[in-house]
Amino acid sequence: MAVRRFAAITGLVFLLLGLYGYIDPGGFGLFHLGGAHNVIHLIVGLLGLAASFGEGYAYRYSQVIGVFYLLLAVLGVFTGDLFGLMHLGVADNALHFVVGAIALYFGVVLSESAQGARSYR
């Protein structure tokens, strides 16, 4: 149940962030929200909302988003502009790292503990 809630909240936040990026590309003065960045946020948000309707989908969403955002954080640190696709600053990289770590926690750690709880029944 927690992973479904995580997928729904994450999806809603990313959906709103993607829409907000078109209103204020400066992103609260901290983040760089360009067109490609906004599209990715919208897609991640819609996928999160869709994944929240099933527990298996929510686990997979959390795993994929976790790996994706950790990879994005690492690439952002080493490239800075993600090979010309979008600019990623320090705040972007830090946020992507935190989101990736939390998503992997929900997708991997909670998944394994849920499987362990099911095997004792």
**What's the CA gap between 48 and 22, in Å, rounded?**
20
> What pLDDT does 36 receive?
84
- pLDDT score, position 121: 46
pLDDT under 70 in the chain at which residues? Answer: 111-121
pLDDT at 80: 73
- Quick one: pLDDT at residue 116? 56
Report pTM: 0.84
Number of H helices, E strands in the chain: 5, 0
